[in-house]
Chains A and B, each alone.
Chain A
Amino acid sequence: MSDVISLNLQVWKQSSIDDPGSFEFYSVKDISIHISFLEMLDVVNENLQKEGKDPIAFDSDCREGICGTCGFVIDGVAHGPLAKTTVCQLHMRHFEDGQTLVIEPFRATPFKVVKDLVVDRGSFDIIIQAGGYVTVSTGNAPDANNILIAKDNAEDAFDSAACIGCGACVASCPNASAALFTSAKISHLSHLPQGKIEDDQRVKGMVEAMDDEGFGNCSNHAECEAVCPKGISISNIALMRRNLIKTIL
């Protein structure tokens, strides 16, 4: 197998929030299969600049799959074809020579496209502000070992806390629901004694904020779980619903 491939890219270009946007075509050659998808776009952008053309705007920061900055849709799948992988960790060895790829931003009403593949996910912060925390100010804390947490609970809490807030769940949901994101935080804190105390206010506040921001409802498509780079389970959504129903009963 050759170590370089050629690709045909069909990339969403949109100059600003107000621009309707459209696809542009790029023919890309001599891409090393050892580089990441974002490094491939770096190469494309270098070449575009050399030709005096506008580079493709995309977001990234850590490039190790933990910051949640990067993310777009490749051939209809958020973060591309590899499960549990952000685009920064997706390497070109997973693509075929001559393949055509359609690349577009995460789309949802609350996620406005800022430019090309860059979207605004500020509404996630607003959901967290509505209760995604433990009410504790610095200096109030008891000795750390005074709060006993069963290993299984700590592990379950961690599984939910691993969410990187990238927004792939929203982009892949037919309803543009933020239920997986919201429930992951609710579930993380609900598994811990120090977080459980505020379960009721938290679930009510966060679900309301999610609705207010314009995210749709969850109707159990489970597309979110399928694309989540951190493997966050939809069982979190079930827990969120249980907690919500408990506040009514």
Chain B
Amino acid sequence: MAGGSPEKEFVESVSKLDGRLPSGNLEDKWDKYKSSMKIVNPANKRKFNIIVVGTGLAGGSAAATLAELGYNVKSFCIQDTPRRAHSIAAQGGINAAKNYQNDGDSVHRLFIDTIKGGDYRAREENVHRLAEISTNIIDQCVAQGVPFARDYGGLLTNRSFGGSQVSRTFYARGQTGQQLLLGAYSSMMRQVAKQQIEMFPNREMLDVVTVNDRARGIVVRNLKTGELETHSGDAVLLCTGGFGNVYFLSTNGKASNASAAWRCHKKGAFMANPCFAQIHPTCIPTSGEYQSKLTLMSESLRNDGRVWVPKSKDDKRSPADIPESDRDNFLERMYPAYGNLVPRDVGSRAIKKMCDEGKGLDPTGRAVYLDFKSAIDRLGKKNISDKYGNLFDMYETITGDSPYSTPMKIYPAIHYIMGGLWVDYDLMSTVPGLFVLGEANFSDHGANRLGASALMQGLADGYFVIPNTLGNYLANTKLDPVSTTSEEFKEAKNDSKEKTEELLNIKGSSTVLEIHRELGGVMWDLVGMARTKESLQEALDKIPKIKDKFWNDLYLPGESNTLNKNLEQAGRLADFLELGELMALDAMNREESCGAHFREEYQTEEGEPLRNDDKYAYVSAWEYNENNIPILHKENLDYKFVKMTQRNYK
């Protein structure tokens, strides 16, 4: 035990969490749900006000679809326009079980791949629904005008992604997220013009307001004016993305944060599997202290790129001078069946292993090659440029090297958080009336997400799940009118005001960036790609000290009543500090390895994650407690349709 501090405490709840899953055959559950649910009749929909926070793929698609149905939607986003949500940066593609390639794909196969990719820590019911809906998403997006890649006959074309042996990924060059988001955004704008959506850009959610224990509104800060506002509604949809920025350096946008979710957590929403953080194998390596973010190079590159290091760690020749016989194409060697297309967690750990053995590339020793030479020789430069041109350009812009002539250098980085607020089958959190969609929830990816599945999930939740489940909630629930002049709203607004002032009044000497970087270092080193009981204990020892430093020595310039970027970042960091501690605690509690959660103590002889299904086949859902003693609730993962096996990508 590092630092001699007592182990972080938590208590375990005796009752089990219920995901309220429909009964019956797995294939029939969603259809059965839809045919038996209550619905709000068209004339009544306009009487409901729905608050949607976030405008990425989940929030954008939800806001547009609910408005189309006739609900009054208030949409909030942190950027200056909904078109800039971080979904825009997703590159590679979106999965769908269309089987257009006639290669044996099916809903069942996509379901199995996703369950297996998640290392058997996701709910069967949610994942099956996701696979069923996947095909509708592609239809919807094409109808909106999303320019997916096409073949000469005018039909859609596909590429392959990790963790799958079929070609089911639809793509729009290396900008699939951008094009899908602009599709959802354009649908939103159509509804804004029809006054069915009221748009609130430049707003950061600071709190959820509950009335009679139901989510009935939010407190937001207008980031341009500093003004605090309250908004009421009949339900709140949280679509605020993931919290990879707890690691400081990640592929997330600078504004991506945990605060909306964390503040809901403090109001009673359980946080599920927070330690399941995905590390993406192919990112541009870090270059120095002032680096502000990491840039992903899409997984799709592994379709044509070969990952290698020199066989000898003393081989310092330039890559062009190293013959094939002196190269170790280690993914192909270690995993012959999947080769360079192993799932992300498997690929990341293999890269780390090579670097830990001293074979990493100069100057940092934290990089391996991703080489396109054989693909360019085989398919021609033009073909490769059509597929990956923008990614190659982006790489060259950042590093100064052209991947057409020299191999890329890559290293894993934090990319996506599988964990998130706990939701039931309806996507409702433990706070009634608070629904959570997209990356912000925990539901579909288990312990590891497959590539091209984030876009699928965000759009499935927004376009096709929530329009049904929200209607069911509203039709089954008696909701009294609420007003933002009520005590609950005034109190919540006042709390947010006090918290903001408290930050400005610390008047210490450390900047937000310095403290965030310090937290990120601890998270990456101790709660990162490989974890041990000792590393996690050390993290649990160090994070509270950083938290103390934050609350005693933070320096913030400026005021609260104006645009103040540092104040925004400080509020987010305050939450990251609490969340980071819970992530370490969750990782400590889970004494097994599964998917992206790799505890070094629990591995097979071949170095693969060793699950413990007898003890840990559950979702850990943490309840916040004022005394900082979290309460662990368990939702058992009772697999009825799939047999849990050891993943094998060899």
Whether A151 pairs with B81 at a CB distance below 8 angstroms is no
Contact of A39 among B291, B393, B566 (CB under 8 A): B291
Residue in B151, B178, B566 with the greatest tally of chain A CB atoms within 10 Å: B178
Which of A32, A85, A137 is most buried by chain B, counting CB atoms within 10 A of its CB? Answer: A137
Chain A interface residue bracket vs B: 35 or more
CB-based contact A141/B143 at 8 Å: yes
* Cα-based distance from A84 to B100 in the complex (angstroms): 35
Q: Is the CB of B190 within 8 A of A129?
A: yes
Could you say which residues of chain B place their CB within 8 Å of the CB of A164? 178
Nearest B residue to A160 via CB reads B147
| B86 contacts A62, C-beta separation under 8 Å | yes
A1 within 8 A of B: no
> Nearest chain-B residue to A127 (Cβ)?
B189
CB distance from B446 to the nearest CB of A (A): 27
| A49, B557: Cβ atoms closer than 8 Å | yes
Q: Does B295 contact A (CB under 8 A)?
A: yes
Q: Which among A53, A62, A139 is the interface contact of B557 at CB below 8 angstroms?
A: A53
A16 within 8 A of B: yes
B192 CB within 8 Å of chain A: yes
> Which of B142, B253, B393, B565 interacts with A144 by CB under 8 Å?
B142
> Does A216 sit at the interface, judged by CB under 8 A?
no
Q: Known: A61-B254, A67-B89, A140-B143. Is A35-B148 also a contact (CB below 8 A)?
A: no
Total chain B interface residues with beta-carbon distance under 8 A: 79
B549-584 to A contact mask, C-beta < 8 Å, 1/0: 000000101100011011000000000000000000
Give the shortest distance, in Å, between A199 (CB) and chain B (any CB).
12
Number of A-B contacts (CB under 8 A): 215
Q: Which stretch of B9-17, B20-28, B153-161 is in the interface?
A: B153-161
A69 within 8 A of B: yes
Could you tell me the distance in whole angstroms from the C-beta of B588 to the nearest C-beta in chain A? Answer: 33
Q: Tell me if B80 and A154 are in contact (CB < 8 A).
A: no
Say whether A50 contacts B292, CB under 8 Å: no
A85 touching B397, Cβ below 8 Å: yes
- Whole-angstrom CA separation of A120 from B223 in the bound complex: 12
Within 8 A of A (CB), among B138-156: 138-145, 147-156
> Is B511's CB under 8 angstroms from A50's CB?
yes
Of A73-81, A168-176, A187-195, A236-244, the segment with at least 4 beta carbons within 8 Å of chain B is A187-195
A212 within 8 Å of B by Cβ?
A: no
Q: Tell me which residues across on chain A come within 8 A of B182, comparing CB atoms.
A: 161
CB distance from A47 to the nearest CB of B (A): 10
Query: When the two chains form their complex, are residues B464 and A151 in contact, meaning their CB atoms are under 8 A apart?
Result: no
Q: Are B80 and A59 in contact (CB under 8 A)?
A: yes
In the complex, which residues 469-517 of chain B have their Cβ closer than 8 Å to any Cβ of chain A?
511, 513-514
**Cβ-defined contact, A148 with B155, below 8 A:** yes
Known contacts being A43-B290, A133-B187, A194-B143, is A16 close to B150, with CB within 8 Å?
A: no
Verify B151–A65 contact, CB threshold 8 A: no
Are A36 and B254 in contact (CB-based, < 8 A)?
Answer: no
Cβ < 8 Å to B, chain A residues 57-71: 57, 59-69
- Is B172 an interface residue when CB atoms closer than 8 A count as contact? yes
Q: Are A149 and B150 in contact (CB under 8 A)?
A: yes
Q: Say yes or no: A150-B154 contact (C-beta < 8 A), given A63-B292, A128-B186, A132-B189.
A: yes
For residue B193, CB closer than 8 A to chain A, the reply is yes
Query: Across the interface, do A68 and B84 meet the contact criterion of CB distance under 8 Å?
Result: yes
* Chain B stretch 165-183: residues in CB contact (< 8 A) with chain A: 172-173, 175, 178-179, 182
Which of B80, B148, B562: most chain A Cβ within 10 A? B80
- Over the window 32-55 of chain B, the binary record of Cβ atoms lying under 8 Å from chain A Cβ atoms (1 yes, 0 no) is 000000000000000000000000
Known: A63-B253, A125-B199. A158 touches B86 (CB 8 A): no
Whether a CB of chain A sits under 8 angstroms from the CB of B400 is: yes
Q: Chain A interface mostly helix, strand, loop or mixed?
A: loop
A134 B155 Cβ-Cβ under 8 A: no
A151 pairs with B513, CB closer than 8 A: no
- The distance from the CB of B65 to the nearest CB of chain A, in whole angstroms, is 4
Contact (Cβ within 8 A) A66 B145: no
Per the 8 Å Cβ criterion, residues 2-39 of A in contact with B are: 15-16, 32, 34-36, 38-39
**A105 CB to nearest chain B CB (Å):** 13
Question: B255 to chain A: closest CB distance in Å?
Answer: 5
Give B433 Cβ to nearest chain A Cβ, in Å. 23
**C-alpha gap A54/B565 in the complex (Å):** 11
Please determine whether B175 and A115 come into contact, CB atoms closer than 8 angstroms.
Answer: no
Compute how far the CA of A39 lies from the CA of B89 in the bound complex, rounded to whole angstroms.
Answer: 19
| Complex interface: chain B residues within 8 A of A118 (CB) | 563
> B201 contacts the other chain (Cβ, under 8 Å)?
yes
How far apart are the CA atoms of A61 and B293 in the complex, in Å?
A: 10
Asked whether A99 is an interface residue with its Cβ less than 8 Å from the other chain, the reply is: no
| A148 nearest CB neighbor, chain B only | B154
B-chain residues with CB within 8 Å of residue A144 when the two chains form the complex: 98, 138-139, 141-142, 148, 156
Q: Which residues of A contact B393 (CB under 8 A)?
A: 84
> What A residues does B253 contact at CB under 8 A?
61-63, 67
Distance in angstroms between the alpha carbons of A188 and B192 in the assembled complex: 21
Does chain A have a CB within 8 A of B224? Answer: yes
Q: CB within 8 Å of A: which residues of B?
A: 61, 64-65, 68, 79-84, 86, 88-89, 98, 100, 136, 138-145, 147-156, 172-173, 175, 178-179, 182, 185-187, 189-190, 192-193, 199, 201, 224, 253-255, 287-288, 290-293, 295-296, 393-394, 397-398, 400, 463-464, 467, 511, 513-514, 555, 557-558, 562-563, 565-566
Q: Can you spell out 10 A-B residue pairs with CB atoms less than 8 angstroms apart?
A: A35-B290, A62-B88, A63-B295, A64-B293, A85-B397, A114-B224, A137-B68, A151-B151, A157-B145, A189-B145
20 more A-B contacts (CB under 8 A) besides A35-B287, A67-B88? Answer: A35-B288, A38-B292, A49-B511, A54-B558, A55-B566, A61-B84, A63-B293, A64-B89, A65-B397, A68-B84, A93-B400, A122-B80, A128-B185, A133-B189, A134-B144, A136-B140, A138-B61, A138-B464, A158-B147, A161-B172
